[in-house]
Amino acid sequence: MAFFHVIIPAAGVGNRMANVLPKQYIALGGKPMISHSIQVFFNHPRIAGIHVALNPEDDFWRSLTLEPESRLHLHYTGGATRAETVLNTLKAMEPTLQADDWILVHDAARPGLTHALLTHLINTLEQDAVGGLLALPVADTLKQSADNQQVAQTIPRANLWQAQTPQMFRFLTLKNALSQFGASVTDEAEAIEALGFKPKLVQGELRNLKVTYPQDLELLEALFNAEKLKGCA
């Protein structure tokens, strides 16, 4: 029987947020973003283990107040890139895993994942031969720029998707993919593609956006506040 394990890479510094704190520790709704990202997995009965990958020099984690949870494991396995961090963490986890266990990699700065969306991803992919990821069909017209920020060309948006997380693949397949192609990819799905596989796209939600710029945080704050008001109505 395959189990479901989560890796949350949290070793980045988030320079585009123009904040002293690494962005995963910036407050959202009164608690750090990473707390939201972790909590959805705490609350899901199918998740066997939650593995947070930290920078070896991380001084912020100790300030977090999370509910005690036996499924939470900390690894000071942060590398120079996301792929290196995930691969280091997979190697640290290896003694406790089976080859066909599922690994869900989720961004620490993607705090809007819901229980329902996580369930949908697991139910859609658990019998899939390859695995896959949450993603959104691209809604806007895409422009490619020249060096002077003038439009070089318009890119048709048909069949284009914006990748989200979690990205969900079998342990051994993901480890092999990142070992071979981690230096040249930006996410786990791209490494799996480089092995010759075709990950499945599972439709995500806008709420599951990745906080990259200050306005992203403002949008999520507004969404969270609106949901609180709706719940009190």
Q: pLDDT (tens digit, 9 = 90+) per residue, 92-151?
A: 999 999 999 999 999 999 999 999 999 999 999 999 999 999 999 998 888 999 888 899
| Residues belonging to the chain | 233
Within 62-214, strands assigned E span: 72-75, 102-105, 131-137, 142-145, 151-155, 161-170, 200-203
Whether 208 is covered by a domain: the verdict is: yes
* Domain annotation covers residue 96: yes
The DSSP string of 171-220 is HHHHHHHHHHHGGG-SSHHHHHHHTT--PEEEE--GGG----SHHHHHHH
- Name the residue range of residue 172's domain: 4-136+162-232
- 47 has pLDDT over 70: yes
157 in a structural domain: no
DSSP H or E run through 53: strand 47-54
Domain count, the chain: 1
Q: Are the C-beta atoms of residues 201 and 133 closer than 8 Å to each other?
A: yes
Q: In this structure, what CATH number is given to the domain that contains residue 11?
A: 3.90.550.10
pLDDT digits (tens, 9 = 90+) for 54-104: 998 888 887 776 666 678 999 999 999 999 999 999 999 999 999 999 999
Does a structural domain hold residue 33?
yes
In a domain, 61, yes or no: yes
Residue 153: inside a domain = no
Give the H or E element holding residue 50. strand 47-54
Q: With 0-12 CB in 10 A as exposed, 13-18 as middle and 19+ as buried, what is 103?
A: buried
Residues 199-220: pLDDT tens digits? 999 999 999 999 988 899 999 9
Q: Which of 76, 72, 102 is nearest to 89 (CA)?
A: 76
Residue 63 within any structural domain of the chain: yes
pLDDT of residue 65: 63
Assigned domain for 142 exists: no
- Report field, pTM of the whole predicted structure over 0.85: yes
